[in-house]
Amino acid sequence: MDVDLVVVPDATAAAVATAALLVDVAEADGSVVLAGGSTPRHAYELAAAAHSDWGGVEVWFGDDRCVPADDPRSNQLLVREALLERLVVGPLVHAVPTGLPPEEAAAAYDAALRDQQLDLVLLGLGSDGHTASLFPRSPALDVRDRLAVAAEPGLEPFVERVTLTIPALESGAHVVFLAVGEGKAAAVRRAFAEEPSPTTPASLVRSSSGTTTVILDTAAASLLG
């Protein structure tokens, strides 16, 4: 396996382990790419409670849905509610400009990401093996000259998205996947214990010069053998 595996008893312990990594970044005034979806919410809440001064931090998004920033499907909203609004001193937040058409939003995010150092890249995993908004067999998987692109709605919610590309994600000094629950177990096996394949985009994302860690609860790890 080309990743460091951290298997903990349950989803709460996975959130605790993930929050600790986020706090490390906050204490070091580092830069972090945050994941959307529902899984990381608890980790964001714990990180905010543990360290309330994120004044030196830069926050990016691995992907966002092209919806208004107060739409319940927005990853920005998740991060605002679970993390940013709970801090005493907030970070510099680089939100995806989701008010623009997806191609324009992606071009703007691509330009903003140029020459940025990303210390921690936190990613989720879909049951179909997607990560960020890189979906199975998507043409976005082949993009090497952009750091962000517009992405097709690959799964619920079926809205257009902007996603970081593999070159952007793999530039992270520490890439961390967080997945919990038995519904993720088959995707976990394909992403981390089988040959890399465009049918499982997460299998294609590893830190190119640093480390890749996978945080799982025992249910998500149950098919790893």
- Taking residues 48 to 87 in sequence order and writing x for each that binds ligand 6PG by CB under 6 A, - otherwise, the string is --------------xx-----------x------------
Tell me the closest approach of the beta carbon of residue 183 to ligand 6PG, in angstroms. Answer: 8
Residue 126 lies near ligand 6PG (rule: CB under 6 A): yes
Terminal-residue alpha carbon distance, the chain = 12
Among 30, 91, 102, 124, binds ligand 6PG (CB under 6 A): 124
Determine which residue in the list 105, 118, 121, 132 makes contact with ligand 6PG, applying CB under 6 A: 132
Q: How far apart are CA 82 and CA 77, in angstroms?
A: 8
Among the listed residues 25, 35, 59, 147, the single contact to ligand 6PG using CB under 6 A: 35
C-alpha span between 86 and 224 (Å, rounded): 36
Give the residue with the Cβ less far from ligand 6PG, 131 or 207.
Answer: 131
Closest CB 70 distance from ligand 6PG, rounded Å: 16
In this structure, the number of other CB atoms found within 10 A of the CB of residue 141 comes to 16
Paired tokens of 137: 């067999």
**From 38, 72, 145, 195, residue interacting with ligand 6PG (rule: CB under 6 A):** 38
Decide: 67 and 159 in contact? Cβ < 8 Å: yes
Collapsing DSSP states into helix, strand and coil, what is residue 14?
helix
Nearer to ligand 6PG by C-beta: 27 or 71?
A: 71
d(CA 119, CA 115): 13
* Bond from prior residue into 9 cis (ω within 30 degrees of 0): no
Binding site for ligand 6PG (CB under 6 A): 35-39, 62-63, 75, 124-126, 130-132
